[in-house]
């Protein structure tokens, strides 16, 4: 889950530029539609986290990092890291529910 107070928010267009700079494979640029697809349908069972503010979607540098680690773990079969990530997310969700009294 994106924490707007502690994470660096970026628009999908900026995310595509960041990934394109890191990609390096054959010099191809990542199309912004790919970022939207990662948000909507995901990749290898994992979706890129995003938040809507005033009708505009944002992701974050940190969300990109989490997404790529989850996808890499799914690709390499490193389930232990994915399970730890899922457990951490579940604990964060439970903590937030406790905060609001649910």
Question: 13-32 pLDDT, tens per residue?
Answer: 999 998 887 755 566 788 99
- Tell me the pLDDT band of 98, cut-offs 50, 70 and 90: confident
Residue 87 in any domain: the answer is: yes
Query: Can you give the residue range of the structural domain that contains 82?
Result: 9-100
Residue 38 in any domain: the answer is: yes
Residue 4 in any domain: the answer is: no
**For residue 81, what are its two tokens?**
């890291």
What is the C-alpha to C-alpha distance for residues 43 and 16, in angstroms, rounded to an integer? 15
Mapping DSSP to helix (H, G, I), strand (E, B) and coil, where does residue 72 land? helix
Per-residue model confidence as pLDDT tens digits over 65-93: 999 999 998 888 776 555 566 667 777 88
Q: Which residue has the tokens 């995310």?
A: 15
Residue 3 in any domain: the answer is: no
Residue 27 in any domain: the answer is: yes
Count CB neighbours of 10 within 10 A. Answer: 18
Per the structure, the count of domains in the chain is: 1
């Amino acid at each position: 889950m994106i924490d707007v107070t502690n994470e660096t928010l970026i628009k999908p267009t900026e995310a595509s530029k960041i990934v394109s700079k890191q990609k390096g494979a054959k010099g191809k640029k990542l199309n912004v539609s790919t970022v939207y697809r990662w948000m909507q349908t995901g990749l290898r069972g994992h979706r890129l986290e995003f938040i809507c503010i005033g009708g505009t979607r944002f992701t974050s540098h940190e969300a990109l990092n989490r997404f790529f680690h989850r996808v890499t773990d799914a690709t390499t079969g490193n389930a232990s890291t994915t399970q730890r990530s899922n457990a951490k997310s579940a604990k964060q969700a439970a903590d937030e529910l406790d905060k609001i009294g649910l």
